[in-house]
A and B are shown apart, each in its own frame.
Chain A
Amino acid sequence: DTAVSQTPKYLVTQMGNDKSIKCEQNLGHDTMYWYKQDSKKFLKIMFSYNNKELIINETVPNRFSPKSPDKAHLNLHINSLELGDSAVYFCASSPYFDNEQFFGPGTRLTVL
């Protein structure tokens, strides 16, 4: 059983396109997150979200938007993709805002 899953695992696309990455967790957690890991391997949080509150890292361009159809899903939409968006994106979840986080396997996005 996969606790936190992401699709697709790999995504290759052209500059200017709009794309989405899906994330699902079957742990019954209330909080989900999106992280970006760049080529230097630094992990940076982008968003944290539960049913009541969305917290956005102010350095994240507004081309990125999280969308949660229900508590088990937090999808990441990216508009007008740029070369610098190439990275590995990780979804994570935790029981509440401040518990340990469980990460998905990552989605490697390559923008050409």
Chain B
Amino acid sequence: DAKTTQPPSMDCAEGRAANLPCNHSTISGNEYVYWYRQIHSQGPQYIIHGLKNNETNEMASLIITEDRKSSTLILPHATLRDTAVYYCIVRPVNTGGFKTIFGAGTRLFVKA
């Protein structure tokens, strides 16, 4: 079972920042927060992950609260191509990748 809670859908205006929240109140100390997205009819795409520090890469930023019970994925300048389902996943290390459990995700609509 997924250990995260995400809103089912969100809208964002093109060019604005998209802030996607994720609650993971039962996260354990050895669990990472991962974000993937799935654009319609494609395979999931890795975005970013973190343990407790904020992370940034060319795609997005990940803000994790100090108590690690929630996080926010930030797409700084959303484009129409960012319309997708975004999945927040928490999983421990050394599990054979087996705990990469996808929930329902958040369907992000970027509008012109």
Contacts and interface: CB of A to CB of B under 8 A. Distances in A.
Main secondary structure of the interface of B (DSSP, over half): loop
Contacts of B93: 98
Contacts of B101: 45
B43 to A, nearest CB: 3
Query: In which size bucket is the chain A interface?
Result: 20 to 34
A32 B85 CA distance: 23
Query: In which size bucket is the chain B interface?
Result: 20 to 34
A94 B100 CA distance: 12
A14 interface: no
A106 interface: yes
B44 A48 contact: no
A105 B42 contact: yes
Contacts of A75: none
Interface of B: 34, 41-46, 49, 85, 87, 93-98, 100-104
